Structure 1
């Protein structure tokens, strides 16, 4: 946990979501499960209960101080809705301004036109202070079609917090991962596509480019780990990695590289340092 909390209590009569109270294990129990479960995946791994660094400082440069206070995981669901995936939208402002607490929100999702300036991988990163003070420091990552260059656009307009189709976020806490050394592979969307988009979301994800990124310095990823049954999407053939409809982490850096994390391609070299907290509640946002 961080040294400072991320906000105070605030109430609203209307909530665009319903909340399920969770019964999480203790931090010690979770640490033991992660240590044992990931032992075979890394050369060396150590899972500890530790104090989170100040996330507003480099290399994280996030909007909130840390991962403590009023912990919730937020999910967007739309099963059975007959609407094209790139028009299944929600504005995170509606969630924050009707929530019960001042908040720091981080998470991974997607953006599309005309709701947002570009198509791309959206890293939500913002703070909210009741009743209407939103500081948006989110990032939109995409490739420019005319030159193939990756672009990371920092979003500061509170009205540019609209996500589409699927998203998992942490309110007042979350998961932050720092990657150092070697190279990683990340899916990357173009900033523009021809309309209408007739293919399914999973077919769209399957055909994304997956460039290799050499880690010039620390790369930061945010996302969620949810203890639920994984739904297989596709295999990324170039790196022989299975893609699932859960546990996505989207990455950004200060040297213009990022996207949806797929895998490291230098397992003997790449190092990870992650900080996570445990959600006490799950808020489910239905598409209406």
Structure 2
């Protein structure tokens, strides 16, 4: 149900099943898409350690998601004045000092170009500055490949632009859903398979989850947005795909993901995943391209609340894959 909201912020109470129930639902649902599946309730690993290197130890504590801005601010024509601060998102979701991860667009005001952002920020609180562990992936001006950078090595803000799909929590250790899946036999990515399993089981009860997963073996299809925003309006899926730069990237890849089983009427992007690596590759995840050998391990939690921030008035469904 929707609740009262600050200006430009809509809040919705999500359906939040118990972890044990979700474990059973996903164990059954993911079996349709992967030959090997094991879903359990487990302790969140220490995310400050390799391969994650996050600024906090876990993803637990008052979990919520925020859908900020949206694809209509990127296409058909980019609205470059749409700049957001992750610290402000933490306050807007009633959790100042939160740890926030997810997928979004980098701030063109900061970078001077368009790029993919992998936000990983322990936000400011009670006089303590933010700890920004984010990554940014851009198109290399020298060879047209992927240029992956640690955000804080070049930039000193916590901004992002246009759109962001964010998982917000206290960043504490605790119990999570551990999902292990390998040898894909279905047509869906891991994220889509999770989302559809939830949708099929819970129907019109919106269940949202966020977290992180690793592609341990195999390769993944990805894109990175061009450095220059399109000079011409992008009005169709074909035009958007022709504008994006597509890649096949090698495991191991550390992914951060937000998904909602169904949109309860807030013009949501129902799933969005970005990833980084320690070998120079990163971007927007579509799916794996090596189904016979792919191996995933992930850690997720269901969210209590959805916050819809700065929802576009003029909207469309193009470019949300």
TM-score for both structures, normalised by structure 2: 0.71
Does residue 1:225 correspond to 2:259, yes or no?
Answer: yes
How many angstroms apart in 1 are the aligned matches of 2:54 and 2:277? 12
CA contact (8 A) 1:116 1:160 kept: no
| Pick aligned residue for 1:266 from 279, 284, 290 | 290
CA deviations 1:63-111 (Å, max 9, x no partner) are: 2210111111111246988994342332223223555332100010112
| Within-5 A mapping of 1:1-288 | 17-77=9-69, 84-87=77-80, 88-97=82-91, 100-101=94-95, 102-111=97-106, 113-132=108-127, 133-156=129-152, 157-164=155-162, 166-172=163-169, 174-190=210-226, 192-193=227-228, 196=231, 198-200=233-235, 205-207=240-242, 208-215=244-251, 218-228=252-262, 245-287=269-311
Q: Sort the Cα spacing of 1:77 and 1:85 in 2 relative to 1 into closer, same or farther, 3 A.
A: same
Looking at structure 2, the residues matched to 162 and 86 of structure 1 have their Cα atoms a distance apart, in angstroms, of: 13
- The normalised TM-score by structure 1 is 0.79
Report how many residues are paired: 259
Decide whether aligned partners of structure 1 residues 96 and 15 sit closer, same or farther in structure 2, where only a CA change above 3 A counts: farther
- Contiguous gaps of at least 5 residues in structure 2: 1-5, 172-209, 313-321
* Maintained 8 Å contact 1:20/1:282: yes
Report which structure shows greater RCO (CA 8 Å, sep ≥6). 2
Partner SS state of residue 303, structure 2: coil
Structure 2 Cα separation of the partners of residues 83 and 148 of structure 1: 24
Structure 1 pair 137–274 and aligned structure 2 pair: CA distance change class (3 A): same
Call closer, same or farther: CA 1:26–1:194 in 2, change over 3 Å: closer
Q: Structure 1 residues 126 and 15 mapped into 2: Cα distance closer, same or farther (>3 Å)?
A: farther
| Contiguous gaps of at least 5 residues in structure 1 | 1-13, 231-243
SS at match of 2:20: helix
Greater shift after overlay, 221-230 or 29-38?
Answer: 221-230
The structure that is helix-richer by fraction is 2
C-alpha RMSD of the superposition:
3.0
Q: Secondary structure at the match of 1:43?
A: strand
